[in-house]
């Protein structure tokens, strides 16, 4: 059997943008505190979910999405609320899925689309098309009888082609949308799967909300799909996605710097006296020469806990008299 080959060219422009991305990733890797900022990582995940669903006309605001994920009651269309819960569960599987395995994709589709459509976790049995935000058909997907052959060929290519991951994941994303293997949910699965592929290469991509930049450039997103289909190769979409990835990393670099700047002088002082072994609040206050417990909690302890810089020995009982704190 001949090797399955996908139509694309690697251009100097792609190489230049990929180089910029690698430089930006290097800068992000040097922000050592990023891994200690669980709130920032959570915000990034929420942005990914909200943005990817917004592209699919989900009406919930980012504040409502945040409330849903925090277990709060939200008033809104039931399907939109279900979609948020499903997406959160699907994205939570990024650590455990194998992005080179079609079976794992079928499982994620089942999670993502449960209680939203009937045909979950299996390839479509009818013909479908791709529509832009105005409802215009921009691509008539291949016939249903071809889907199994095409998607399996795509996964074979994914496993065997040595092309660099930034480009490979973008090609996969386009070809996946071209095949449109599911009756619904293709857009959100395609975006999640590119993130999964990138995260399998560089784990930091789990927390880079690429979907947010796509959502902000939704018209260009559909134009890139349409242009690639017209050209008969994925170059236009590859370039679009490379620029999206670079912008997403630049945005999170800026957010990281801004977040860290808010760690005020009190927190810096706190971290200078904190140890990796547990200490009581009284011990820490004595080392800081503080007398007001209220001021200590408000200006030192709570901000450091929220930033993920310190932890409690009894997190389930934050007000326990036996509570102690230690540096993470």
User: Distance between CA 56 and CA 166 in Å, rounded?
Assistant: 24
Q: Would the pLDDT of 198 be above 90?
A: yes
Q: Average pLDDT, whole number, for the chain?
A: 89
pLDDT > 90? residue 38: no
**Does residue 2 register a pLDDT over 80?**
no
The pLDDT of residue 32 is 47
Residue 43, pLDDT score: 82
Cβ-proximal residues to 180 (8 Å cutoff; 6+ apart), any chain: 124, 128, 129, 130, 139, 141, 142, 186
CB 108 within 8 A of CB 93: yes
Give the DSSP H/E element, type plus range, for residue 81.
helix 78-91
Q: Where are the beta strands (DSSP E) in 127-263?
A: 129-131, 137-140
**pLDDT for the residue 1:** 42
Cα→Cα distances 223→1, 207, 258, 289, 315, Å: 34, 26, 33, 61, 49
User: Is residue 279 classed as helix, strand or coil in its secondary structure?
Assistant: strand
- pLDDT of 288 > 70? The answer is yes
Q: Report, as an integer, the average pLDDT of 267-278.
A: 90
The model's pLDDT over 202-250, given as tens digits with 9 standing for 90+, comes to 988 988 899 999 999 999 999 999 999 999 999 999 999 999 999 999 9
Domain boundaries, the chain: 12-260, 264-327
CA–CA–CA angle 315, 319, 320 (5° rounding):
80
CA distance 112 to 82: 9
pLDDT recorded at residue 264: 64
From the list 52, 9, 27, the residue with the least C-alpha distance to 167 is: 9
- Output the DSSP codes for 118-149: SS-SS--SS--EEE-TTS-EEEEPPPHHHHHH
Comparing CA positions, the residue from 211, 221, 153, 141 lying closest to residue 181 is 141
Specify the higher pLDDT residue, 276 or 35.
Answer: 276
Give the C-alpha separation, 96 to 98, whole Å: 7
Contact 120, 113 (CB under 8 A): yes
**Helices 218-231 and 235-261: angle between axes, nearest 10 degrees:** 150
The pair of structure tokens assigned to 163 is: 């092309």
Q: Which of 37-51, 76-90, 274-288 has the lowest mean pLDDT?
A: 37-51
CB 58 within 8 A of CB 74: no
Distance CA 200, CA 144 (A): 30
DSSP 3: P
Question: Which residues on neighbouring strands pair with residue 326, listed in sequence order?
Answer: 311
Q: Is the pLDDT of residue 136 over 80?
A: no
Segment 83-118, tens digit of pLDDT = 999 999 999 999 999 999 999 999 999 999 999 999
Percentage of residues in the chain having pLDDT higher than 70: 91
For residues 297 and 62, what is the distance between their CA atoms, to the nearest angstrom?
29
The strand pair at 137-140 and 129-131 is best described as antiparallel
Full-model pTM? 0.77
Residue 134: per-residue pLDDT: 72
Q: Which CATH superfamily is domain 12-260 in?
A: Fido-like domain (1.10.3290.10)
- pLDDT for res 280: 95
pLDDT band of residue 309 (cuts 50, 70, 90) is: confident
pLDDT at 82 over 50: yes
**Termini Cα distance of the chain:** 54
What's the pLDDT at 328? 86
Task: Tell whether the model's pLDDT for residue 30 goes beyond 70.
Answer: no
Q: Is 264-327 CATH 3.30.70?
A: no
Token digits for 20? 């910029």
pLDDT at 79: 96
Coil vs helix vs strand at 325: strand
Nearest to 140 by CA among 124, 129, 151, 131: 129
């Amino acid at each position: 059997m001949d090797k399955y080959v996908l139509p694309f060219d690697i251009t100097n422009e792609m190489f230049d943008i990929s180089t910029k991305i690698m430089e930006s990733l290097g800068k992000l890797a040097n922000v050592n505190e990023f891994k200690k900022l669980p709130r920032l990582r959570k915000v990034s995940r929420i942005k990914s979910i909200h943005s990817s669903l917004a592209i699919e006309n989900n009406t919930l605001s980012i504040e409502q999405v945040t409330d849903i994920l925090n277990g709060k009651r939200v008033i809104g269309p039931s399907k939109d609320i279900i979609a948020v819960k499903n997406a959160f569960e699907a994205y939570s599987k990024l650590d455990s899925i194998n992005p080179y395995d079609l079976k794992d994709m079928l499982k994620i589709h089942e999670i993502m689309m449960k209680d939203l459509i009937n045909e979950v976790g299996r390839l479509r049995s009818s013909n479908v098309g791709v529509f832009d935000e105005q409802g215009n058909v921009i691509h008539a997907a291949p016939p249903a009888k071809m889907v199994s052959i095409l998607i399996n060929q795509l996964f074979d290519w994914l496993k065997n082609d040595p092309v660099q991951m930034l480009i490979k994941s973008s090609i996969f994303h386009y070809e996946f949308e071209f095949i449109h293997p599911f009756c619904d949910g293709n857009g959100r699965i395609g975006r999640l799967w590119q993130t999964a592929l990138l995260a399998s290469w560089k784990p930091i991509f789990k927390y880079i909300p690429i979907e947010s930049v796509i959502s902000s450039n939704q018209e260009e997103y559909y134009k890139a799909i349409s242009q690639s289909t017209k050209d008969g190769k994925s170059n236009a979409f590859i370039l679009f996605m490379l620029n999206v990835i670079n912008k997403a990393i630049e945005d999170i670099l800026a957010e990281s710097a801004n977040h860290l700047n808010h760690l005020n002088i009190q927190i810096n002082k706190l971290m200078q006296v904190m140890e990796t072994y547990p200490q009581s609040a009284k011990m820490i206050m004595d080392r800081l020469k503080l007398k007001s417990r209220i001021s200590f909690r408000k200006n030192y302890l709570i901000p450091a806990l929220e930033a993920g810089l310190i932890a409690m020995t009894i997190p389930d009982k934050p007000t326990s008299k036996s509570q102690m704190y230690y540096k993470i």
